[in-house]
Each structure stands twice: as structure tokens, then as C-alpha cells.
Amino acid sequence: MQEKQQQQQQAKRRRAPVPVPKPVKTYTEFNNQLLFGKYSYSEIEVKDPSLKSYINLKPLVQPSTFRNNSKKMFSKAEISVVERLVNSLMRGGTGKKVGGHVIRTEGRLQGKKLKVIHIVNEAFAIVQNKTNSNPIQILVTALENSAPIEDTTRIRQGGTTSTISVDISASRRLDIALKNVALASIIGAFNKKKRIAEALADELMMAARGDVNSYAIRIKNDKDRMAKSAR
């Protein structure tokens, strides 16, 4: 009986299909991924040497990752620059200013990352149609042009307070540039006929050209001028 059972088991094993291993993606296949399936990350040039370590161009089809290492120091440098732009746009705001600051409210984009990704995708399509260039390169150039070099701070010596100019770290330069580009999009579309995707596309193209009509370029020039006068 035992011999018959063993023979039957062996026959079943022979008839069982051999599992085929799934193909594993190679490094080149991961490296050739296109943003939104359309825009290539290759040949993107970062001219600013101080921002090279912080402008992350990791190939991603969708700029959305689960940031589990957010408590680590300098962890923002490991996030794609396109995803950081998406995160900067996820804020509430009415587009109005009080005391030089944009009012923060429970805006429509706050917390809805998928909606913001669609907005960035549409803005990149507008940029490509108008410039015939890779919108990722336009974004990188816009951030380089709108990142301030100096800022001012107040120090207290005895009973007097004075303003002095200070250098800005590369990480903070990129943070300020992303924040100003996002604010320009919100301000440019609030209570206007222009949609936020169109406002974002216009801001990226103007900042990439160094146009003084760009909100981010204007804020950068103001900071640099104030820092120069405080030297």
C-alpha cells in the first residue's frame, strides 16, 4: 500500500506544471521610466553646483512615494523634485495677502495629492506645447533661477537691534524656490478665469526665462536687494 501511494505521489509531481519565474526588472529598465509615461529624466542638466545634491531626479512614473524616512536629517534630498513640487502645492490659501503673507485656509488642494498630480501633469503638458522642451528641465531651470542666494536676519547687541545679511544653505534655497512657485500658482489662479494648471505653467516658463514678471523671481530679487543693503 505504501509503495502504491508513493508511486501515485510521484506521478502527480510529474504531471504538476513547473512554475515559471517572473521576469525581474533590470536597473536600465527602472532607469528608463518616463514621468507620467511621457517625459524622460535623461539629459536633465542641473547647472547650479550647490543644488545638484538636493534636486533629486530619481525616475518615477507617478511622483508619489511613501515617505517613511521623514524624520531622518536631510531626508527631503531623497524625494523627487517633481514630488516636492506636488507637496508644495498641497496647501490651503485664498490667494490674498495680509501683512505680506498669503492667508492659510482649508483649501481645495489640501491633502488631495492625486488631484495635485493631475494639475502638475496638465501644467507640464502646457509647458511642452508652448516651449517644445522637456518640462522637467524647465522646472529645474526655474528653481535654479528663483532660489535666493542671501537673506537677512536680525541680531540683538546690547539694547540695539540690527539687520545683517546671511548666506542661505542649498537645502533652504530649494525650499524657498518651491514654496514661491507654488504660491505664484495659487495667487495667479485665485478668483481669476485662469486655472491653476495654467498659472503653474506660466510661472514655470517665466521663472525659467528669468522674467521679472515671475512672482518667484521677484521675491528672489527683493531678498537679494535687502541682503545687499544690509551688508
Whichever domain contains 177, its CATH number is 1.10.455.10
Q: Determine, yes or no, domain membership for 9.
A: no
Per the structure, the complete domain to which residue 208 belongs is given by 78-149+169-214
C-alpha cell at 115: 488631484
Q: Determine, yes or no, domain membership for 226.
A: no
Return the sign of the alpha-carbon dihedral for residues 90, 94, 96, 99: negative
Q: Determine, yes or no, domain membership for 182.
A: yes
Helices (H), 39-159: 81-89, 113-131, 135-146
Note the pLDDT tens digit of each residue in 105-140.
555 556 688 888 999 999 999 999 999 999 999 999
Q: Determine, yes or no, domain membership for 201.
A: yes
| Domain tally, the chain | 1
pLDDT value at residue 120: 93
C-alpha cell at 151: 537673506
Least confident of 4-13, 23-32, 119-128, 151-160: 23-32
Q: Determine, yes or no, domain membership for 143.
A: yes
Residue in the block written with cell 511642452 = 128
17 pLDDT band, cuts 50/70/90, is low
Contact 165, 46 (CB under 8 A): no
Q: Determine, yes or no, domain membership for 173.
A: yes
Q: Determine, yes or no, domain membership for 30.
A: no
Least confident of 22-31, 126-135, 169-178, 222-231: 22-31
Distance CA 144, CA 227 (A): 19
For residues 143-159, one letter each, b for 16 or more C-beta atoms within 10 angstroms of the residue's C-beta and e for the rest, the string is bbbbbbebbeeeeeeee
pLDDT value at residue 208: 93
Distance CA 226, CA 31 (A): 43
Question: Which parts of the chain are beta strand (E)?
Answer: 34-35, 39-40, 97-98, 101-102, 150-157, 160-167
Q: Determine, yes or no, domain membership for 60.
A: no
pLDDT value at residue 122: 93
Distance CA 5, CA 150 (A): 83
Q: Is the pLDDT of residue 27 over 50?
A: no
Cα-flanking dihedrals φ and ψ of residue 167, to 5°? -75, 155
Q: Which residues pair with 177 in a beta bridge?
A: none
25 pLDDT band, cuts 50/70/90, is very low
Whole-prediction pTM value? 0.77
pLDDT value at residue 159: 78
Contact 180, 216 (CB under 8 A): yes
